[in-house]
Structure 1
Amino acid sequence: MVRSRTVALALIALVTRAVPAQAHVVRFETLSRAAVGDGYEKIVGRLWFADRPGSAANRRIVDLERAARNVDGEVSSSDDVVILAPRDRTRANGAAVIDIPNRGGATALILDGGRFSHEPDVPDDLGDGFLMRHGFITISLGWQFDVPRAPGLLGLRAPVASDDRHPITGLVRSDFHVDAPQAEHEIGDRGHVAYRVNDNADLDNVLTERDEVLAPRRVIPRARWRFTRAGAAIALDGDFTPGRIYELVYRAKDPVVVGLGLAAVRDAVSYFKHDPSAPVHVLRAYGFGISQSGRFLRTLVVRGFDTDEQGRPVFEGIMPIVAGPSLGSFDHRFAQPSRDAAAFSSFFYPTDMPPFHEREWPLPPDLKVIDIVTSHEYWGRAASLMTTSDDGTRDVALPANVRFYAVAGGMHITGVSPTKLAGARERSDPLDYHWLERSTLVRLDDWARSGTAPPPSRYPTIADATLVAPERWTFPRTIPGLAVPDPAIALHRTWRYDFGPRWDAGIVDREPPLLGAPYPSLIPKVDGDGIDLGGLRLPEVAAPLGTYTGWNLREPATGFGDHLVDFYGSFVPFALTNGTQMAAHDPRRSIAERYGDRSGYLRAYQAATATLVRQRYVLAEDAPALRARAEWLWRIVHETARR
């Protein structure tokens, strides 16, 4: 009797272990399989999910109970998946980088220093093979329902919610400004699929214009504008013109169950960790997201999707890159996931909303978080809210399982050429910080696997006076040719929003929202060269050839010349010699005075690299590549000066 009871319990245990793995990933469909890189393969596939409304793990998903169900009473969805894994699985180190695509585009291969590609197939896409060399599996998971219909973009197919098969309607807002006159503008953000217009003649459809972010709105007569392209765009008689912010509010229908994207990532990672039928198996999973997808990871943790339906951890660690303090439109009715809160676009969406820092999150004690921001996020994303109190008067200590690295002198996009961007006043900031991201991934894996903590956080603080109020910020304004922003105008601020009485249930009743008091935005103090203090200085900023800033003002001809270009910073090279410095009345020391010659510069750069390697912010294996970058920077700056 005892033996039969033991056998029965063992069988129950086996069933209990087997069933949950398949409970919400119905199947994985392989679409293609091909060899890539050094002994790796690329698997392109699709995951099919079935989520049960009302379950403890799913009841927080807005409108899930209003979606159509299959015969088992579950809601079906599917997402796109791309896997890069060793063909010989014994080469894998047990860890997977879970790549959260940005607007459908996979991003993790930036860690390889390769060419950005939606469909990595050739050596240039794979860079130096860093991830492969270290044995990481990369799994890119589509999660966003409205990505543009373009080859290689990864998305989610999710159902529409209805009210007992009757269409649900609600308010949707779309704002934009133009750099040159144009007759028509899309409604969706950056080419994304817009929600359908319920009725072209609805009185809720209103187009306004205004002259500044907080200026009064002027209603444009309905006879002057119309929906075009089957409701995907609007056209205006007399054209949309620079210097105005246009805002369309319209009544839409058929909201998608957007929050299934959060559930899809949760269930997919759990599947790859626990289901023996999965095409790859991982022991440790690290969420990697840049900007929008970093905000997605933050939202996933804040909303409790880091635990699967069996109560198991989903991620061992996450790396939100340049996400700032923000969350996003990832789980509410008529959510537009692409909308953000950039330096000068996408105003007043539910993005910059508390909780801003991890101490206020429901943060699992074993989940490791490493945030990376740059100087741009302080100016364009209110990053100070990640480490300060909501009133901006004091620093807030980070939890023990969180690290925070602020890249001094960096911009939102890493490693571009220092050329002038169309619509910007200055050359773009070339600072490449993917070296820090590579090291951070290795340190994160060490932390989760063996308990070896990563190096300390590095960021400006109120306590050491490197993080200051906008009115106390000063800059060496005599740097020749550099247009310096006025923080009172250009600095991004976030507000307390009121989206209506049902916002806590994920339903927007008020568009645009009412604005309450703004949260304080603090910014890093700068040194005599105009470079931020208090953060982590990578070699090209520790041994600089010019001023690196996280901001870049817009060209006046594009309208709003006192505001910042989204995402970009500035680079202003130092004078080559003392003579050219004096002739230009440049207060910054010349390159010749700082380093003497090329050899002196390379010595200073390599010394800075060696220090960062010793401190574990940079990997020793990257020192030769950093030396090559120093030589490239020297050549570029000298070639630019001679033009």
Structure 2
Amino acid sequence: MKRTLVALAIAAAAASTHAAVERIEVTERAPFAPGVTFGEYGAYEKIRGVAYYALDPKAAANAAIVDLTRAPRDKKGRVLFSSEFVLLRPTGPQQTTLLYDVNNRGNIAILGQVNGRSPAQNDPTTAADAGDGFLMRHGFSLLFSAWTWDVAPTVPVAGTPTSRPLVFAPPIAKGVKGKVYNEFTVNTPTDIVTYAGMRGLTYEPATPNDPHAQLTQRPRPGDKRKPIPRSAWKFVAPELQGGPGRVQLEGGFQHDTIYEITYVAKDPYITGAGLAGIRDLLSYFRDHPFEGAPAPRNVLMFGISQSGRLIGRMMHDGLNVDEGGKLVFNGAYLQVPGAGGSAGFNSRFAQPTRHPSMLEEHDYPADAFPFTSAPARDPVTGQTASTLDKARDKQGNLPKLIVANTSTEFWNRGASLVGTTPDGERDVAPADNVRIYGFMGAQHYVGRSNKRAPFTACVSTSDHYLPMRALIVALDDWTVNGKQPPASAYPSLADGTLTTVADYRAIFPKGLGITPPEQNLREPRLNPGMVPPKRGEEYETRVPTPDADGNDRGGVRLVESQAPLGTHTGWNRRAPETGFAWATSRFDGSFVPFARTEAERIAAGDPRPSLETRYPTREDYAAAVRAAAERQIAAGLLLAEDLQRTMTTNLGLYDRIVAHNPADTDCGYLFGK
């Protein structure tokens, strides 16, 4: 089925005066999860289509889009492009909250983390793709669209339907040339390697096999680059058609080394158009009935990791306000964005998939001052600013925001900067329209690895997806009904729950078999006028303070921290055989269970009280979990409907730890594998 809907708002003149969506083409309409009804909201349907945009480069609302004035234009002087979208919504005529999920590297993210099931082939269709149906049972209409171009093709699997990532084809600044740099590492020695970012694409050389390209090596991010003779390496064709280029080195690439290849590229994508496309698609759906359903009662935005940072950049550039001067979303949830994402995504030769962590990619813009939602001063530049300085609509309104990080982002993504001055010397309370939360002891995503490699410890078992569910509902209530969400809960300097890495190492208990890193990520101030950019003074970042068990204090104390079975950290060191043993996993924390008995504890030299001391019986542990869960429910950080899942998950882990022989270093038992 394919048909075109000419923009329906001609009659609704005020809404369409500045509309940048010219038309919508519906390419597919079918039941979603056929045969399943989701509580009072009933059956759902899937609509797939294409939105066609026309941007005026002269409009003030588009002035922030880098290189838009260099894009080809139609006879009316407009820049034209399109993006595919997918909409899941109830089939009934009721008004719902439209929740836009910023896809992550082309992939739908919210269903996996919130509903518990990522859709097969990135194409939500079946009852299985709905997971436990949480978002549907709560009546959200879900919208996804293409916004980024740097999504690498995947190797097809025989007998499996082709995946359907959402990939954007942005306008191009034709004729523009400039240097591009690509950093990469390997975990094991290899002769040929891809030099693009994680699961991504990059700009390829303007001249094939560019003889003037440079390849360098260095042991650490801040060390001097050492050139590798051009005669010792060469470019190699992509593994897949349309995939990222590769490079081959005589003698092979070695672990423990950061490599970087630099060359001249041409015709940069106007990446900021992808952000404008999101803006204008939301503006359109906000104001228009669509395919028999009324306009939504509320519009929210949600993003995980890269996608959360993109929301931060949209607000930093004022791209959350449409050409008519109206907010395109009333509220947004930024999940694990680290320092917030006020850089990247909207610059010449931008590579959206790149972002710094303790080891990687310090020279790529992902975060830059300002970091806080309330004004703060950068003592190095003397500038005072906030992340929301350009985010107000023409009436002065701001969206309501939830920003949540895990312990891992304090080690690998500069998360302390969301709540402190850039020098790390004092706290900065969030603005009235913002709540910030720290999920202590959790890692970037809920861990499921059944082995230690390529790290030194088993990954964290904490589950922060359940409080995410509660906060999504709270954000909807806040923006629709004015009901206040839970108070911000974030580590701070004032109460001693935020500290230096040196202090953390001194406090962290010894005898657990793991040793804290010597550093966390300290992003440099970057001067983008050079390639690679010139580095300035580093921002001062802090980490959560550990308690006597090694569990992080402050922030949101998850059930796993209130009724602990062991130590959960936000860091997990790399195994020496993979190189960079001084660094940490980009996304993973650690878990070290308590000894089962006092005898085992003493034999192991473990300073932490054993399980039998803390919880003499299984019933005692169950009571501790229930009490912790009920406290979270009372605080608005857990939904009553998720109490039983919390009990089952934690008691299951307790049973597996008690049954596990500590001499067995495998990690699979933690996850029932």
User: Which string of whole-angstrom CA distances, capped at 9 and with x for unpartnered residues, describes residues 323-354 of structure 1?
Assistant: 01142421111100100112322221111211
Compute the displacement of 1:275 (Å). 2.3
Partners in 2 of 1:418 and 1:332 — Cα distance? 36
Residue 480 of structure 1 corresponds to: 512
Q: Distance in 1 between matches of 2:200 and 2:411?
A: 26
- The residue that corresponds to 1:610 in the other structure is 630
* Aligned-residue offset at 1:592: 0.7
Q: Tell me which of 657, 660, 663 is aligned to 1:637.
A: 657
Q: Is 2:47 aligned against 1:43?
A: yes
Q: Residues 73-88 of structure 1 correspond to what in structure 2 (within 5 A)?
A: 73-88=77-92
Q: Does 1:546 align with 2:566?
A: yes
What displacement does 1:219 show?
A: 0.1
Deviation at 1:132, TM superposition (A): 0.9
Whether contact under 8 Å (1:111, 1:131) holds in the other structure is no
- 1:153 is matched with 165
Give the superposition deviation at 1:302.
0.8
Q: Report 1:169-248 matches (<5 A).
A: 169-200=177-208, 202=210, 205-229=213-237, 232-248=245-261
Question: What are the superposed Cα offsets for residues 35-82 of structure 1, whole Å, 9 maximum, x if unpaired?
Answer: 324211122222111111111111221111111122332111111211
Counterpart code for 1:160: I
Give 1:269's aligned amino acid.
Answer: L
Q: 1:471 is matched by which residue type in structure 2?
A: A
Identity %: 36
For structure 1, which segment, 632-641 or 176-185, has the greater mean C-alpha deviation from structure 2 after superposition?
A: 632-641
Q: Which residue of 1 aligns with 2:123?
A: 119
Q: Provide the C-alpha distance between the structure 2 equivalents of 1:639 and 1:144, rounded to a whole number of angstroms.
A: 47
Q: Per the alignment, do residues 123 and 35 of structure 1 end up closer, same or farther by CA in structure 2, a change over 3 Å counting?
A: closer
Whole-Å Cα distance in 2 between the matches of residues 19 and 383 of structure 1? 39
1:452 aligns with one of 477, 483, 486? 483
Distance 2:84 2:453 in 1: 34
1:337 equivalent in alignment to 2:334: no
Residue in 1 that maps onto 2:468: 437
Displacement of 1:194 in angstroms is 2.1
**CA contact 1:576–1:641 (8 Å) conserved in 2:** no
| 1:54 equivalenced with 2:90 (yes/no) | no
* 1:270 corresponds to: 283
Spell out the pairing of 1:287-436 with structure 2 (5 A cutoff).
287-327=301-341, 328-359=343-374, 360-361=386-387, 362=389, 363-364=391-392, 365-414=397-446, 416-417=447-448, 419-436=450-467
Q: 1:529 to 1:25 in 2, by over 3 A?
A: farther
SS of the counterpart of 1:576?
coil
Whichever residue aligns with residue 101 of structure 2, its letter is D
- In the TM superposition, what is the alpha-carbon distance from 1:635 to its structure 2 partner? 2.5
- Please say which of residues 18-27 and 123-132 is displaced more in the overlay: 18-27
Give the Cα separation in 1 of the matches to 2:503 and 2:479. 41
Q: Distance in 2 between matches of 1:535 and 1:641?
A: 33
Identify the residue that residue 285 of structure 1 maps to in structure 2: 299
Moved more, 105-114 or 263-272: 105-114
Show CA shifts across 1:4-31 (max 9, x none). xxxxxxxx99463363375434323323
Letter in 2 for 1:484: P
- Preserved CA contact (<8 Å) 2:32 2:124: no
Equivalent residue of 2:622, what SS? helix
**Which residue of 2 is the match for residue 24 of structure 1?**
21
Residue 628 of structure 1 aligns to a residue whose secondary structure is helix
Q: d(CA) in 1 for partners of 2:111 and 2:606?
A: 40
Q: Separation in 1 of the partners of 2:370 and 2:594?
A: 41
The separation in 2 between residues aligned to 1:451 and 1:219, in whole angstroms, is 59
User: Once the two structures are superposed, what CA deviation does each residue of 1:477-531 show, in whole Å capped at 9, x if it has no partner?
Assistant: 42332232223xxx1111111111xxxxxxxxx1111111111111111001101
578-587 or 197-206: which moved more? 197-206
Matched, 1:252 2:265: yes
Between the aligned partners of 1:623 and 1:53, the Cα distance in structure 2 is: 52
- Shift in Å, 1:278: 5.7
The letter of the residue matching 2:192 is E
Task: Decide whether the 8 Å contact of 1:113 with 1:434 is kept in 2.
Answer: no
Whole-Å separation in 2 of the counterparts to 1:325 and 1:60: 21
- Listed as ranges, the gaps of 5+ residues in structure 1 are 1-11, 501-509
Partner Cα distance (1:519, 1:329) in 2: 17
Local SS of the residue matching 1:45: strand
Q: Which residue of 1 aligns with 2:105?
A: 103
Supply the RMSD in Å over aligned alpha carbons.
Answer: 1.9
2:262 alignment partner, SS class: strand
User: Which amino acid letter does the alignment assign opposite residue 153 of structure 1?
Assistant: P
Are the structure 2 counterparts of residues 476 and 192 from structure 1 closer, same or farther at C-alpha, using a change threshold of 3 Å? closer
Residues 1:582 and 1:188: Cα distance change in structure 2 (over 3 Å) = same
Matches of 2:508 and 2:495 in 1, distance apart?
A: 21
Contact 2:598 2:612 in 1 (8 A): yes
Q: Give the alignment's TM-score, normalised by structure 2.
A: 0.88
Task: Give, in angstroms, the shift of residue 204 of structure 1.
Answer: 5.0
1:94-133 superposed Cα distances (whole Å, 9 cap, x missing partner): 2121100111111111354322232223333322111111
From 500, 519, 525, the counterpart of 1:496 = 525
Stretches of structure 2 lacking an aligned partner (at least 5 in a row): 1-8, 38-42, 155-162, 239-243, 375-385, 665-673
How far apart, in 2, do the equivalents of 1:418 and 1:224 lie?
Answer: 38
Equivalent residues of 1:97, 1:288 under 8 A apart: yes
Normalised to the residue count of structure 1, the TM-score between the two structures is 0.92
2:546 counterpart of 1:526: yes
Secondary structure of 1:311 counterpart: coil
What is the DSSP-based 3-state SS (H/G/I as helix, E as strand, rest coil) of the residue aligned with 2:61?
Answer: coil
Mapped to 2, the partners of 1:394 and 1:484 lie a distance apart of 24
Partner of 2:198, secondary structure, is helix
Whole-angstrom distance in 2 between the partners of 1:520 and 1:279: 53
Instruction: Write the distance in 2 (CA, Å) between the matches of 1:596 and 1:284.
Output: 49
Relative distance call for 1:312 and 1:418 in structure 2 (3 A) is same
Partner of 2:382: none
CA contact (8 A) 1:146 1:192 kept: yes
Give the structure 2 partner of residue 5 of structure 1: none
Cα–Cα, structure 1 residues 122 and 112, in superposed 2: closer, same or farther, change >3 Å? farther
Q: Check the 8 A contact 2:344/2:367 in 1, yes or no.
A: no
- State the match for 2:499 in structure 1: 468
Q: What is the Cα deviation at residue 173 of structure 1?
A: 1.0
Contact 2:105 2:151 in 1 (8 A): yes
Deviation at 1:385, TM superposition (A): 0.8
**Structure 2 residue aligned with 1:143, among 138, 142, 147?**
147
Preserved CA contact (<8 Å) 1:21 1:271 = no
In structure 1, give the amino acid aligned to 2:500.
A
| AA aligned opposite 2:348 | R
